[in-house]
Amino acid sequence: MSAKDQLLIQYDLHTALFNNVLVDINEEEAAVRLAPGINHVKWLAGHLVWGQLGLARMGNVQVNIPWTDHFNTQLSEPVSKEIEMPSLDEIKKEWNRYAEAIREGLSQMSEESLNGPIEFPLPAFKTTESLWTFINHHQAYTIGQIGILRRALGKEAMKYR
C-alpha cells in the first residue's frame, strides 16, 4: 500500500470522526469553555475546517469559507466584525460540503507531487507528503480534544461507526 493510500485512509477516518464527535452537541454546549484558556467545541470544529484548507490547497481544490480566519489561532473574538462567528451547524455543513472534493483532489496527486519539496516554517516538513502527514495528525489530535470535551459535557463517548 502506498503512502498516499494510507493518508487517504486517515482522511476518510477523520471525515467520519468529525461528524461522529459532534453528534448531539447543541449550539449552547458547543460554546462552553470548561476553564479559562481552553477552546470550546465550536472553536475546535471550526479549527478542523480551517485545517482542511491546507489539504484543499494540496489537492488543488477551490474552497470558499468566509470565516476560517476566526479559527487559525487560539480562541479569540472574531477577527472581523463584518464576519460573524458561524454556528456549529454551519461549521459541520462546510466540512461536509468540501470533504469529498478535497479527497478527490488528494487522490489525484502524483507521487512526484507528493515527494516534491515545499517551503514550510517547521523544518521537519520538507515534502508535501510530510506536511499532509502532519495535517492528518493535527486533525486527529483536534478531534480527540472534542472527544474529551463531549465527555465533560456529559455526552456518550464518540462512536467510530
> Does pLDDT of 67 surpass 90?
no
Predicted local distance difference test score (pLDDT) of residue 85: 78
CA dist 99 and 110 (Å) reads 20
Q: What angle do CA 91, 94, 95 make, to 5 degrees?
A: 85
CATH T-level fold of 3-152 = Four Helix Bundle (Hemerythrin (Met), subunit A) (1.20.120)
CA distances from 40 to 29, 35, 126 (A): 9, 9, 32
- Nearest 5°: the CA angle 42, 73, 101 is 65
CA angle 149, 77, 28 (to 5 degrees): 40
Question: Average pLDDT for residues 46-69, to the nearest whole number?
Answer: 90
For the chain, what percent of residues have pLDDT higher than 70?
Answer: 92
Q: For 94-122, write each residue's pLDDT tens digit.
A: 999 999 999 999 999 999 999 988 877 77
In this prediction the pTM is 0.90
Q: Give the Cβ contact number of residue 38 at 10 Å.
A: 14
pLDDT band at residue 75 under the 50/70/90 scheme:
low
